[in-house]
Amino acid sequence: MNLLHFLSQNRAQVLELTLEHLWLVGISTLFAMLVGIPLGILVAHRKGWNKPILTTANIIQTIPSLALFGFLLPVPWLGARSDRLAILALTLYALLPIIRNTYAGIHGVDAAIVEAARGMGMTEWQLLYQVELPLAASVILSGVRIAVVISVGLATIAAAIGAGGLGEFIFRGLAMVDDRVILAGAIPAAVLALLADFGVGWVERRLRAR
């Protein structure tokens, strides 16, 4: 088992790159949630904002990731450190599924329930926090889950601009034409994606069960 041999010999570095990878994905997903969920709420409540915001997020999604990294490289503060840049790019990519699912989740709350809540004298904030967000939570989380899985894959490309992560092995392996090195990056990345998918999916199911 050549690959296992390679992994065990380089376990310190595998661990380090995995943690770097997790950092890139975790922090960018967090930012994307902080921006995307409020935007999704806004879009669900103000019809006029719907088109521009979703279209922008859609367009960002269509930019090839290498090109986006390239575009952002000359930006002053950002370009100075490649991890900042990678985190921004990953955040931008994670926005669309989070915005869209937040919108869909809130939009999908039964209109009769929303009307009952208003009719009983809930303020718009109470309606949002006590009714809409709890009822939309599982749909919002499924957007987060999609975002995380996309990010784990995309973050491998961040290595191309020197932001680290498991992509380092993949690019190094490509340069060395060594399958083992490629797999040493690809397999942990795939495992991360699966674990993240399972983990967030578990939380999502628990929320739906309520």
Q: Which residues bind another protein (CB under 8 A)?
A: 110, 112-113, 115-123, 126, 130-131, 134-135, 210
Q: How far from the centroid of its chain's Cα atoms is residue 7's Cα?
A: 27
Provide, rounded to whole angstroms, the least separation between the CB of residue 20 and another protein. Answer: 39
Q: Could you count the other beta carbons within 10 Å of the beta carbon of residue 62?
A: 7
Nearer to another protein, 48 or 121 (CB): 121
Least Å from the CB of residue 34 to another protein: 24
CA atoms within 13 Å, Cβ hemisphere of 31: 17
Taking alpha carbons only, the member of 39, 63, 64 closest to residue 52 is 39
| Complex with another protein: residue 136 or 150, whichever CB lies closer | 136
* Distance in Å, CB of 40 to another protein, minimum: 19
Q: How far apart are CA 78 and CA 46, in angstroms?
A: 32
In the complex, least distance from residue 114 CB atom to another protein, rounded to whole angstroms: 9
Nearest Cα to Cα of residue 163 among 27, 2, 1, 8: 27
Of residues 131 and 147, the one with the C-beta less far from another protein: 131
Nearer CB in complex with another protein: 107/172: 107
Q: Choose between 80 and 120: whose C-beta lies nearer to another protein.
A: 120
Q: What angle do CA 190, 157, 104 make, to 5 degrees?
A: 70
Kindly calculate the radius of gyration of the chain based on its CA atoms and give it in whole angstroms: 20
